[in-house]
Amino acid sequence: MLASLGVGGAEKQVLALATRMAVRGHVATLVTLLPQMSEEWPTSLPVIRLNLNRNPISLVAALSRARRILRELKPDIVHSHSYHANIIARLVSPFAGKPIVISTIHNVYEGGWHRMLAYRLTDGLCTRTTVVSQAAADRFIRLKAVRAGKCIVIPNAIDLSEFTPDTSRRLSLKESFGADDEFVWLAAGRITAAKDYRNLLRAFARILHANANAFLWIAGQGSEEEKAQLRSLAAELKVNTQIEWLGLRRDLPSLLDAADGFVSSSAWEGMPLAIAEAMAMEKPVVATDVGGVHELAGETGCLVPARNSEALAETMLELMRKPIADRLAIGRAARNRIQDKFNFETRIGDWEKLYGSLYSQARAL
């Protein structure tokens, strides 16, 4: 159960997990809270939509429909993802045969005190809470939204078969953008406050002011208002001619091939898949040290404080000034780290082990 199948990192991770479970012989059904969106990740799994919208009547109808669906499906496990789906799964499961309920938290920040209180009050309806990073787990435990004894960390992971460098693809795409000699920075993620693209634009302005020869490509969707505000800031900073606003893209491996470095300017994160994907593609990463970023990048990433465009710019410039051989070595180390610690094939085994363990415990009661 998740909010939607919209094109985001958490949604992609959930779909990959459900699909692999189906391949392994389990029966998997997806339940989304929201109606179908204009842009979604494709899936061959059955999808049931609760068609929730912003009014109390819709919420009551969605809860009723969710309860009816669970009664019909009779699942052994309900695995929900992120705040709204977690709360709805907890509320309806007692009225649908009391299946095992696993809540997954995908970010270090999921809302204010009222949401943390909701987590605390419904904790007894949840069998286990998983969190994508230790940093997020520590925060939710500290806020008493999650009990330490019921919380485990299972990080996000990457399918390395999808993210493999290709030299010919790199040359072709870079040429098509007219960026033969320029250093290309790629940033990817939804245009939201969490990603703090304003911080990135200010940092990029400092880079161009230092006479650096660079392009910034930004791949991500957002509201028209948010995009207009960022474009206005780019024009004000006089950097708009060096920025490519790519919008929603489904060819991230190709874009990463063409880029020379990946940058993340987030104000908060859980365990950002975009950084992991860049590492898998052997790209050196400069990122703000938020959430689980340090756990993910380790010593292969160049990390800076959040909301500090000066530090972000200086670190980006330092990387740009490194010899190409040094940048390539950083990229290879980054891919090796993903291979060793964040490989999706290994992570699937972790999830299946957790499912099996909780199922065995429930059967024994």
Mean pLDDT, the chain, whole residue set = 95
Strand pairing category for 151-153 and 77-81: unpaired
Q: 79 with 173, same domain?
A: no
Q: What is the pLDDT of residue 175?
A: 84
Rounded CA gap, 295 and 282, in Å? 17
DSSP letter string, 181-250: SSEEEEEES-SSGGG-HHHHHHHHHHHHHTT--EEEEEE----HHHHHHHHHHHHHTT-GGGEEEEES-S
Q: 64 with 212, same domain?
A: no
Q: Is residue 2 part of a domain?
A: no
Q: What is the pLDDT of residue 177?
A: 86
Per the structure, how many domains does the chain have? 2
% of the chain exceeding 90 in pLDDT: 88
Q: Is residue 95 part of a domain?
A: yes
Window from 22-26, 51-55, 106-110, 125-129 with minimum mean pLDDT: 51-55
Q: 354 with 275, same domain?
A: no
Q: Is residue 4 part of a domain?
A: no
Q: What is the pLDDT of residue 152?
A: 97
Q: 17 with 143, same domain?
A: yes
Q: 117 with 186, same domain?
A: no
Residue 172 pLDDT level (bands cut at 50, 70, 90): confident
Q: Is residue 3 part of a domain?
A: no
Q: 102 with 173, same domain?
A: no
Q: Which domain holds residue 283?
A: 167-341
Q: 303 with 325, same domain?
A: yes
Strand pairing category for 128-131 and 151-153: parallel
What φ, ψ does residue 13 adopt, rounded to 5°? -65, -40
Which CATH number characterizes residue 90's domain?
3.40.50.2000
Q: Are 50 and 73 in contact (CB under 8 A)?
A: no
Identify which has the larger pLDDT, 173 or 295.
295
pLDDT tens across 243-289, in order?
999 999 989 999 999 999 999 999 999 999 999 999 999 999 999 99
% of the chain exceeding 70 in pLDDT: 100
